[in-house]
Structure 1
Amino acid sequence: MKPKRVSEFLTEDEICAALRVPDRRTLQGKRDYALLLLMFSTGLRKAEVCSLSVADITTYRNQPVVDVMGKGEKRRRIALDRDVMEAVLDYRKALLPLTPSEGGQFLFYTLGEHGNCDVRPLTHKAVDCLLRRVKKVALIAKRITPHTTRHTFATTLLDKGVDLKTVQELLGHSHIRTTEKYLHTSDEKKMDAIARLQFAL
């Protein structure tokens, strides 16, 4: 029987390397940095990121949050930390002169080669291209897909001791069995860490 392929996730060093790739002096770099940071910090699916509107970023009890419409028309709320909000606001400020109606309806837009804003929201293809470029420039050996960023988010939370039910709700999984696969990956990581211990006698 062919072994089931285990989805990969990035280490903290690999995440930092990925976040150093965008040139944050440019509009596209600001967008790419905000997009990457948001994906790593929220575990959003590619479709969810592409459909985000400005109105989806709000506050709840004085905490910045993103309200996401996920699969099955189910909404979930995820807190945003200060770094994510600063990155998003920096990108939106740079975007403002290129879009009507105070920056447009959508949160992220597809950008042309010369920094011109397309009227369409961010496309799935643009997200895939960004992640391929990040992998190449950051010299990361692992395959990086939108699911990799989602897997990284879940595994990081579990490694920090967040309970499985909370991770399930943050990811928008209907069944906790779907979330458990990340727990198995986390457990395997811990087992490998112990296996590498060598003590000289």
Structure 2
Amino acid sequence: MSSKNSYLTKREVLRLLQQLKKQGQREYLIGLTLVLLGLRVSELTAIEWGHFHTDPEGSSIWLTVHGKGGKEREVKVPQMLWTLYGSHFAELFTKPAPASQKLFPISVMLVEKMIQRAREQGQLGKKVTPHWLRHTNATLALLRGATLQQVQESLGHTHINTTQRYLHTVQQIQKAAPDFVEDYLKDSI
């Protein structure tokens, strides 16, 4: 699947999340989890409460993601997302849930339909799928200064060249050839 241009702008992400929030808090959390963590939908629907843990210092929360081909990886859970989980799943935070209980016990197809409905209601011109949120995660991370290796580890890519595809998009966004020409000529024209 090509990642070229299959990402959302900040405005589009916010519009999609706004529509998901109208569907419900669970739907909003699903969209937010996909965007912030860069998960595949199958990884999202496989999350169990026992997959969360703190780092050795106890300062941040991590998620063990069960990815493609049975590979596991660790993804840091942003504090904002963990706080939202805490308020949405309050009863599970006070009385711990069984480790094997799913965070979002729904099907991949239902998540896809949720995103499709939000896309249509938000009148996003793009054919946004849940996988676009994974591409968006990678693109935004690189644009905001994450290293290629950080994005590779977070997304669980075996080969760096899979992750490098995002660099082309990021480089185009940051500075295109006409920008260099303008920089050169702007003091003279």
Instruction: Give 2:172's aligned residue.
Output: 188
- TM-score of the aligned structures, taking structure 1 as reference length: 0.78
Counterpart pick for 2:70 among 46, 70, 73: 73
> How many corresponding residue pairs?
179
User: In structure 2, how many angstroms separate the alpha carbons of the residues matched to 1:57 and 1:5?
Assistant: 29
Structure 2 vs 1, CA of residues 104 and 92 (structure 1 numbering), >3 Å: closer, same or farther? farther
- For structure 2, the residue ranges without an aligned partner over 5 or more in a row are none
Please name the residue that 1:17 is paired with: 15
Asked if residue 36 in structure 1 is aligned to residue 36 in structure 2, the reply is no
The structure with the largest helix share of the pair is 2
Instruction: Write the deviation string for residues 11-55 of structure 1: whole angstroms up to 9, x where unpaired.
Output: 11111111111346xxx6111111111110010011100111111
Letter of the aligned partner of 2:39 in structure 1?
Answer: L
Task: Describe the shift of the 1:22–1:93 C-alpha distance in structure 2 as closer, same or farther (beyond 3 A).
Answer: farther
- In structure 2, do the counterparts of structure 1 residues 133 and 180 end up closer, same or farther at CA, with 3 Å as the change threshold? same
Show CA shifts across 1:122-155 (max 9, x none): 1011110111011111121112112100000001
Q: Match of 1:190, as an amino acid?
A: Q
Query: 1:75 is matched by which residue type in structure 2?
Result: E
Judged with a 3 Å threshold, the aligned counterparts in structure 2 of structure 1 residues 167 and 103 are, in CA distance, closer, same or farther, namely closer
Residue 183 of structure 1: CA displacement?
0.9
Tell me the CA shift for residue 103 of structure 1: 10
Query: Structure 1 residues 104 and 169, CA, compared in 2 at 3 Å: closer, same or farther?
Result: closer
Higher deviation after alignment, 145-154 or 86-95: 86-95
CA distance in 2, matches of 1:173, 1:22: 28
CA RMSD of aligned residues (A): 2.8
1:135 to 119, 122, 126: 119
Per the alignment, residue 91 of structure 1 pairs with 88
- Which is strand-richer, 1 or 2? 1
SS at structure 1 position matched to 2:89: helix
Matching residue of 2:47:
52
> 2: CA distance between counterparts of 1:95 and 1:78?
21
Q: Which of residues 137, 162, 166 in structure 1 aligns to 2:146? A: 162
Query: TM-score, normalised on structure 2?
Result: 0.83
How big is the shift at 1:95?
8.5
Percent of aligned positions that are identical: 30
